[in-house]
Amino acid sequence: MKFAAFMNIQCREDQDYNTVYRGRVDEAELADRLGFDALFLAEHAFCRHGRPSPVVTLSNMAARTKRIRLGTAICVLPWHNPLEVAQDYATLDILCDGRLEFGVGRGAFKMEFDGYGLDWEESQPRYEECLEIILKAWTGEPFSYEGKYYTIPEVAVNPMPLQRPHPPLWTPTLHPGSMKAAVAQGITPMVGASFSQLDKIKENFGHLSTIMSEAGRNDMYRVAHPHIFLSDTVAKAHEEARQSIEWLIEDFADMFTLPEGEAYPERFAFQKQLAGYIRGLTFEKLVEDELLWIGDVDYVVNRLRWLRDDCGANFIISNMSPGGMEHEKVVKSMELLATKVMPQLA
């Protein structure tokens, strides 16, 4: 089983950006020393929920690390010019000596698309067009493109990524249709395990097993993405995590909530239900229903063994700093995961 640390760089109202960013970069260096296989950064904009510009932050982390692979989870393609994305991430792949894992997706939240002046309902076709252009750019051959959203005269993009034909691709998947599309394209699906009931997680991995088998792609990682926080005892873990997790619940619900007077399009109607569900959560319910995994070494080992043995997961991308978790707490949790938990699942 492989392990990656996930960072959604969140800054609560009682924190400052300088401290938060420097702490997360220090944690990347720590993850490298502790033997994590990879580190992934999220991308968000115009909100408290996360920060933009993962390519900038990952470039800084590349300079501070030697071995760990560095990735996006995800780069929101519709927000960006695809030629710039191709150039920027190829440059990052060179600077980190071919350690880039390129996670891509369409984005989820209307407020972020509004900030960029983009139609939220166009997120999927824009994503598909952007990815097609990026992969053409990374062939190294001159090309032109005529699409609905982009018209590109003949260009030859440089530099090329160090990894050929391109860095590995990843994408989040929430239902069998998105899993099937990802596997067909050779993109590793990331199956969520946070804020999800255990039976739903197991069901999703069952779908993934069928899809991979039918496609003959059992060589791909089976990726789970839980929130994990560790401390010396279960009670202490709950005490230390409470403030950050309660902030996360409120913030996450806000991300799914539209301004008063706006209605959800039919294809995004599920987000209205999801916002209500998340807003109704409490820290106690999250713990009781095991929607986030907060506890001691034995508890987390048992949960991860369940992911491995019952779900078939073999790659864990663990959110180590939810809700702007303080640096000292994140460091201790990472150290416990690396030194006490990971060896039991090798």
What per-residue confidence (pLDDT) applies to 34?
98
Kindly indicate the confidence band of residue 259, based on its pLDDT and cuts at 50, 70 and 90.
confident
End-to-end CA gap in the chain: 6
The kind and range of the H/E element at 105 are strand 100-105
Spatial CB neighbours of 53, under 8 Å, sequence gap ≥ 6: 43
Query: Strand pairing partners for 41?
Result: 7, 72
What per-residue confidence (pLDDT) applies to 216?
96
Residue 275 has pLDDT above 90, yes or no: no
267-273 long-range contacts (CB < 8 A, ≥24 apart) are 267/121, 268/110, 268/120, 268/121, 271/108
Find out whether the peptide bond into 159 is cis, omega within 30 degrees of 0: yes
Residue 245 has pLDDT above 80, yes or no: yes
Express each pLDDT in 130-145 by its tens digit. 999 999 999 999 999 9
Q: Average of pLDDT values for 177-185?
A: 97
| Contact between residue 71 and residue 102 where contact means Cβ atoms under 8 Å apart | yes
What six digits make up the tokens of 64? 């501070």
What per-residue confidence (pLDDT) applies to 338?
98
Lookup result for tokens 């824009």: 126
- Whether this model's pTM surpasses 0.85: yes
Residue 192 has pLDDT above 80, yes or no: no
Q: Average of pLDDT values for 188-195?
A: 86
What per-residue confidence (pLDDT) applies to 210?
97
Kindly indicate the confidence band of residue 53, based on its pLDDT and cuts at 50, 70 and 90.
very high
Q: What is the DSSP letter of 179?
A: H
Residue 93 has pLDDT above 70, yes or no: yes
Query: Strand pairing partners for 100?
Result: 70
Residue 304 has pLDDT above 70, yes or no: yes
Kindly indicate the confidence band of residue 193, based on its pLDDT and cuts at 50, 70 and 90.
low
Q: Average of pLDDT values for 150-161?
A: 97
The kind and range of the H/E element at 163 are none
Question: Can you tell me the distance from the alpha carbon of 190 to that of 170, in angstroms, rounded to the nearest whole number?
Answer: 7
Share of the chain above pLDDT 70, in %: 100
Mean pLDDT of the chain: 96
Question: Can you tell me the distance from the alpha carbon of 135 to that of 163, in angstroms, rounded to the nearest whole number?
Answer: 13
Phi-psi region of 58 (alpha: psi -120 to 50; beta: other; left: phi over 0): alpha
What six digits make up the tokens of 242? 């409470």
Q: Average of pLDDT values for 96-119?
A: 97
Q: With the CA atoms of 2, 207, 102 and 100 taken in that order, what torsion angle do they form, in degrees rounded to the nearest 10?
A: 20
